[in-house]
Amino acid sequence: MSRKISFEIPSDPPPVAPAAAPAKAPALSGMAGSLQKAAADTQATRRRLEEVETALADARAMGVVELAPDLIDQSEFSDRFSHDDPELAGLTASLAQFGQRVPILVTAKPDGRYQIVYGRRRLEAMRQLGRPVQALIRHLDPVEALRAQGQENTYRRDLSWIEKAVFALTLAQHGKDSDFIRSTLNVDISGLSRMDTVTRSLRQWTGTDAALRSFLMKIGPAPTIGRDRWYAIAQLLDKVTFPAGNPEVIAGAIHAAAHTSSDDRFLLFQRLIEQAMPKVTKRLSAGPVTVALSGKHHATVKAGAAGVAITIPSKGDPALTEWISKNPEAAIAALRKAAEGDGDL
């Protein structure tokens, strides 16, 4: 009996050498690609982080932050009379009781400090209370900050008319043109012209720019006194060829009335100016007064706000006209003596 014997001979293993050698190159290439991809991912991540940081910075800028009042500087363009603010005490008391609900606006400065754009009274109240002030931070250039300052105070009606007029004068003195000033204060050409007229007349009356500002500080903002009443005073001052009253004396009287309201001090100023104006009788306003001379000739006396003119025709009184022409100082002295005495020459 025979049996079948079989043998299983394993097949040869697959060749590996030829395939293994070229596999090393793709591995290195893949590593390089992975590194490049990782680098690109890192740059993209960095950019995303920078975008996030920028967004956070913008968010902080758009949000309300707390700042120490001592870190906030005033604007070089003052638009408010700093003295005599009767509302500051009430505002301070309100903030002490209820806290600050409306933030101020500041702009960042290169030195790490801030500059106020608007909200000066809130800033001063919080300074007096010794508390940090809530503020919105905007990155504004000087022109943008100045425009925002003027427009905000104008729209909120925080400034009185005379404060706006002096602010317009300040802007003009710093080289700002009419278009910029009108857009900042939200006034038309006529309104700005009235402001210019008032500040020019008051400056001529007080003598210097510094004297003008000092005088107006004594009066204060006069919040209920509008354009027409200030303009009426300017017209009075423009009608005379010499100062109506002594500015220093009037300033002293207003300073002595510092315990009264700013509006009352304006009324005092108006009254003193009107009292110092030349007295012109109503009957003279109808026309010149005639005084009979010899024959058919008459002298005329014409009085007005600018002064008094006396005309004596030579044919009417040759001797008198000749004497006056040769002795004008004596003639004026004789008239002055009559005015200061009982009226007789």
With contact defined as beta carbons under 8 Å apart, do 150 and 184 qualify?
yes
As given in the structure block, the two tokens for residue 273 are: 């100016």
Helix axes 161-173, 189-206, angle to 10 degrees: 80
Co-location of 307 and 334 in the same domain: yes
* Domain-terminating residue out of 254, 277, 300: 277
* Domain-terminating residue out of 223, 251, 277: 277
Residue 85 lies in a domain: yes
As given in the structure block, the two tokens for residue 337 are: 């003596």
Residue 64 lies in a domain: yes
Task: Identify the H or E element spanning 290.
Answer: strand 289-292
Task: Identify the H or E element spanning 104.
Answer: strand 104-108
Q: What is the DSSP letter of 132?
A: -
Identify the pLDDT of residue 151: 60
Q: Which domain holds residue 221?
A: 160-277
Residue 24 lies in a domain: no
Identify the pLDDT of residue 109: 86
Identify the pLDDT of residue 87: 67
CB atoms within 10 A of CB 119: 25
Identify the pLDDT of residue 236: 84
Residue that the structure tokens 């006209």 belong to:
321
Co-location of 94 and 167 in the same domain: no
With contact defined as beta carbons under 8 Å apart, do 181 and 146 qualify?
no
Co-location of 234 and 206 in the same domain: yes
Which pTM value belongs to this model? 0.49
Q: What is the DSSP letter of 301?
A: E
Identify the pLDDT of residue 154: 54
As given in the structure block, the two tokens for residue 291 are: 């005084």
Per the structure, how many domains does the chain have? 3
With contact defined as beta carbons under 8 Å apart, do 169 and 199 qualify?
yes
Map residue 22 onto helix, strand or coil. Answer: helix
Identify the pLDDT of residue 1: 45
Residue 246 lies in a domain: yes
Per-residue pLDDT of the chain (345 residues; tens, 9 = 90+): 444 444 344 444 455 555 544 444 445 555 556 666 666 666 765 665 565 455 445 545 557 889 999 999 887 666 566 545 566 788 888 889 888 888 888 888 888 899 888 788 889 899 999 999 999 888 777 777 777 666 665 555 467 899 889 988 988 888 888 988 888 788 889 999 999 999 999 998 888 988 999 999 999 888 889 999 999 999 888 776 455 567 888 999 999 998 898 999 999 999 988 887 765 434 434 467 777 777 677 788 887 666 788 888 888 788 888 888 888 888 888 887 777 654 444
* Domain-terminating residue out of 277, 300, 320: 277
Co-location of 206 and 269 in the same domain: yes
Reference 170, options 158, 188, 184; nearest CA is 184
C-alpha pair distances (Å), 254 with each of 99, 105, 277, 333 = 36, 35, 18, 34
Identify the pLDDT of residue 2: 43
